[in-house]
Amino acid sequence: MREGRRLVAVAVAVCAVWGTADLHAQTKAVAKPYAVEYYYKVKWGSFDEFFRLFKKNHYPVLLKEKELGRILEVEATRPRLHGTEDGRWDLRVTITWRDAATASDDFDPTTITSVLYPDKAAFDREEQRRFELLLAHWDLPVRDAPLDK
């Protein structure tokens, strides 16, 4: 009788380990990095001011989110030349989030900004100015498209 209980206990333990491993594998499969490209189109002649404010007030917040593990990577690019006005963009920031859920959760960045920028009124004024300089802003989730498969 004891041997039977022992076998059952071992079987339950093995199933629990397999189940946990399987759940962990499923979670990892679902929770893949999620990339979003953020495009900014700035009023002509205002890019330098916009970029200065972006680097001063927004980029440090993104770096803190990276420290927290919410963001895996932040990269920025600018076009070398310009295209047509309707297709023009001045800055593309690509953020690779930990996963899609993190990219769209209800995280409140004021927990970060209140520490980084104790003068809330000055921070709010500068952020308002940064957005006044924008003509357009859009977010584009992207995915890999391997050419070898």
Q: From the first residue on, what is the mean pLDDT of each consecutive set of 10 residues in the chain (149 residues)?
A: 47 42 47 96 97 98 98 97 90 98 96 97 98 97 93
Are 62 and 96 found together in one domain? Answer: yes
Are 25 and 91 found together in one domain? Answer: no
Residue 2's domain spans which residues? Answer: 1-30
149 domain-assigned? no
Dist CA 79 CA 41 (whole Å): 11
**Under 8 Å between Cβ of 41 and 136:** yes
pLDDT for the residue 55: 98
Are 73 and 100 found together in one domain? Answer: yes
12 domain-assigned? yes
Are 84 and 39 found together in one domain? Answer: yes
Dist CA 2 CA 42 (whole Å): 76
Dist CA 133 CA 50 (whole Å): 6
106 domain-assigned? yes
Are 103 and 36 found together in one domain? Answer: yes
Are 70 and 134 found together in one domain? Answer: yes
147 domain-assigned? no
Pull the structure tokens for residue 101: 């859920």
Are 14 and 45 found together in one domain? Answer: no
Are 118 and 136 found together in one domain? Answer: yes
Are 118 and 101 found together in one domain? Answer: yes
pLDDT for the residue 138: 97
Are 58 and 125 found together in one domain? Answer: yes
Are 71 and 128 found together in one domain? Answer: yes
Are 50 and 113 found together in one domain? Answer: yes
Residue positions counted in the chain: 149
